[in-house]
Amino acid sequence: MLLEILMICIDNFIADRKSVVLVLDNLKDGIIAHDLERKIIFFNKEAEKITGYSKAGVMGRDCHEAFGAPFCGEGCSFCGMVPDFKEQLEFPVTIQTKTGDPRHLEMSITGIFDREIFKGVIASFREMAGHTGAGVGTAAGAGDLFSFSGIIGKESSMRQVFQQIRDAAPYDYPVHIHGETGTGKERVASSLHLESKRAGAPFVPVNCGAIPENLVESELFGHVRGAFSGAVKERKGRFELAHKGTLFLDEVADLPKPMQVKLLRFLQEGEVEPVGGEKSIKVDVRIISATNKNLAREVANGKFRKDLYYRLNVIPMHLPPLRKRRNDIPLLITHFLKQAEREIGVPVPRFSRDAVRVMMDYRWPGNVRELQNAVQFAIVRCKANEIMPMDLPMELRSVSKIIQVPHLPCARSNPGKLDLEAVKLALERTGGNKAKAARELGVGRATLYRFLEKNSRAADFAASLK
């Protein structure tokens, strides 16, 4: 609706310029318009307030030059050929203000047409809820906002992650993220990028474990024509593609030893040498690495270079597994349901209390990624308005059966003889809290501790929950 009003205003711009400017300057949305050559032709007061740039400083200038980078970020349609704007575009974007602060915006862009002739574009934008002014600090510490830069969580462990992102983002120091598969390492790396001064530049993710060993060097550093069989033309590597931005090295522990040496050289000198090339290329890139392995243990086992480990692990971050942040599960379910509704375009069934209870009791070895898959599976399987335990994936339905017929009564009826499965279930349900587990089992803490001392399987299971 807003853009339709703006289009009417633009159509009458010449006839009544002062009135149109007055109207647009009083909107609570930032407004910017440019022609086909990216020359800015309008910039309202709210745009000045959000971006920190003055109208006088940007009017008539190339949009990319005025802001030092594409204002629309990676969603810019004018980085190559002039686009054919037939539909309105809507997407989130993070910009850098004139003072270098990140701003998270909701952007809407549509074309300006004169008798079906494409003349330029007009964009309206406003700051996302929860990100205005001191919003980053609020999201990271207050506990009343459960989303930070696209990451969902209200547990204290996740609020600590939010704060770490906020603290580390302004600096170019390397960050190493450790977490189990599916905990959202790439999402956190992307957030670090979006919260940084490099937000308008590329974020380039690389899965080091997915590249064949003989192609790793070419993939990361590029190659010149004729460097090897099949190199029919020169190709830039991921480092060059991430110039001025961020390179995310996922599963960095899987890098072959020779490549570890070359990565170390880059971190020391800031230069890469394409395969087959004779000259080094200076590249300005921030490195964020991640792995689901214990990198210190990999160093101890001789599989990863110690000097590289210290170079990458300047700012360490740990992502907690989903089983240790169970109170976030209902939030994540709601988030994925809303996401599905946006993608499908029709209402989706809700989760019943029993289904949520089953999901709260499951261990989630695949973490948030597995939870998302389970929600999508349940949406497809459910034929009613409410998702029940029977609509969940098989592994969760198995948990549902265990919960319905638990082993705990057996333990309570004979407290002197604890049952391994009952102990494991009680420990899992209490998140490894032995005092609470003992109460569930109907025994004293000393009894449970003696059982754990004598039963190595139970003790190992308890240790895995820490």
Query: 410-413: long-range contacts at Cβ-Cβ below 8 A with a sequence spacing of 24 or more?
Result: 411/441, 411/442, 411/443, 412/441, 412/442
pLDDT of 147 reads 73
Domain 169-227+235-318 fold is Rossmann fold (3.40.50)
pLDDT tens string 75-120: 677 766 666 666 677 777 777 788 877 777 778 888 888 877 888 8
Is pLDDT at 179 greater than 90 in this prediction? yes
Q: Is 365 helix (H, G, I), strand (E, B) or coil?
A: coil
pLDDT of 140 reads 36
Asked whether the beta carbons of 219 and 237 are under 8 A apart, the reply is yes
More confident residue, 419 or 48: 48
Q: What is the torsion angle, in degrees rounded to the nearest 10, for the CA atoms of residue 205, residue 207, residue 210 and residue 214?
A: 80
Going by the DSSP 8-state scheme, the letter that residue 73 receives in this structure is G
pLDDT of 81 reads 61
Is pLDDT at 141 greater than 90 in this prediction? no
**Taking all residues of the chain, what is their mean pLDDT, rounded to a whole number?**
82
**Second-level CATH architecture of 322-404:** Orthogonal Bundle (1.10)
pLDDT of 17 reads 63
Residue range 16-24: mean pLDDT, rounded: 71
pLDDT of 284 reads 94
Q: Is 11 left (phi over 0), alpha (psi -120 to 50) or beta?
A: alpha
Residue range 3-27: mean pLDDT, rounded: 63
* 2-127 classified as CATH 3.30.450.20: yes
Q: What is the torsion angle, in degrees rounded to the nearest 10, for the CA atoms of residue 456, residue 457, residue 462 and residue 466?
A: 90
pLDDT of 4 reads 56
pLDDT tens string 63-73: 888 887 778 77
Asked whether the beta carbons of 264 and 310 are under 8 A apart, the reply is no
The one-letter amino acid code at 413 reads S
pLDDT of 1 reads 52
Question: How many Å from the N-terminal Cα to the C-terminal Cα in the chain?
Answer: 52
Residues 204 and 193: their CA atoms lie apart, in Å, by: 10
Say if strands 175-178 and 286-291 run parallel, antiparallel, or are unpaired.
parallel
Kindly list the distances between the CA atom of residue 37 and the CA atoms of 121, 151, 316, 396, in Å, as whole numbers in the listed order.
10, 37, 44, 56
Going by the DSSP 8-state scheme, the letter that residue 248 receives in this structure is E
pLDDT band at 264 (very low <50, low <70, confident <90, very high): very high
Is pLDDT at 12 greater than 70 in this prediction? no
Domain ranges in the chain are 2-127, 169-227+235-318, 322-404, 408-464
pLDDT band at 397 (very low <50, low <70, confident <90, very high): confident
Q: How many residues does the chain have?
A: 466
pLDDT tens string 36-51: 889 999 999 999 999 9
**Alpha-carbon dihedral sign for residues 430, 434, 439, 443:** positive
The token pair at 199 is 């937000």
Say if strands 386-387 and 175-178 run parallel, antiparallel, or are unpaired.
unpaired
Which residue, 118, 35, 114, is CA-closest to 84? 118
Share of the chain above pLDDT 70, in %: 83
pLDDT of 132 reads 39
Is pLDDT at 142 greater than 50 in this prediction? no
pLDDT tens string 157-174: 998 999 999 999 999 999
Going by the DSSP 8-state scheme, the letter that residue 129 receives in this structure is T
Between 19-33, 66-80, 200-214, 216-230, the lowest mean confidence (pLDDT) is in 66-80
Question: Which phi and psi angles does 122 have, rounded to 5°?
Answer: -130, 135
Asked whether the beta carbons of 237 and 220 are under 8 A apart, the reply is yes
